[in-house]
């Protein structure tokens, strides 16, 4: 891991902790397991101010290209209310969103997905305009 642990911007960290608490890990068993792992990773994350955040870290609204052994995909990590699979917008509360959040370019992420354990490499991260006022549900 490039930075030693997950890197999160302070407001996004607060938002994610809140939606994880509210969500109660809804969904099937695999999603619950993934969100529990994400919650554990958050305990050791580096929390930074906006101006300190490296540009190559996966955040809310980041467009991320990831690769596994036999595929490569570009997605955008978004708030749950903005998910849109047809347009490759993946919620932070899905296994893929939780797996990638806080990691950086060239990190290898080992995650248990519903289809099994997969190692993902973060190939590229580009930042879109960050929401100034995150919506709290």
* Residue 137 pLDDT level (bands cut at 50, 70, 90): very low
Over residues 35-41, the mean pLDDT reads: 91
pTM: 0.89
For domain 7-126, which architecture applies? Roll (3.10)
Lowest mean pLDDT among 4-13, 59-68, 112-121: 112-121
* Average pLDDT value over all residues in the chain: 89
* Residue 116 pLDDT level (bands cut at 50, 70, 90): confident
Q: What percent of the chain has pLDDT over 70?
A: 89
Query: Residue 6: which residues within 8 A CB-CB, separation 6 or more?
Result: 41, 42, 44, 45, 46, 101, 102, 103
Radius of gyration of the chain (CA): 14
């Amino acid at each position: 891991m490039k930075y030693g642990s997950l890197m999160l911007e302070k407001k996004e960290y607060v938002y994610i902790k809140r939606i994880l608490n509210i969500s109660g890990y809804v969904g099937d068993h695999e999603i619950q397991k993934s969100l529990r792992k994400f919650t554990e990773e958050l305990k050791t994350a580096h929390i930074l101010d906006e101006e300190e955040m490296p540009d190559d870290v996966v955040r809310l609204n980041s467009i991320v290209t990831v690769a596994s052994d036999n595929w490569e995909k570009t997605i955008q990590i978004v708030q749950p209310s903005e998910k849109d699979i047809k347009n490759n917008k993946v919620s932070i509360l899905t296994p893929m969103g939780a797996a990638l959040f806080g990691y950086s370019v060239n990190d290898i992420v080992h995650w248990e997905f519903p289809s099994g354990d997969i190692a993902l490499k973060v190939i590229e991260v580009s930042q879109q305009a960050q929401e100034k006022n995150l919506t709290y549900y």
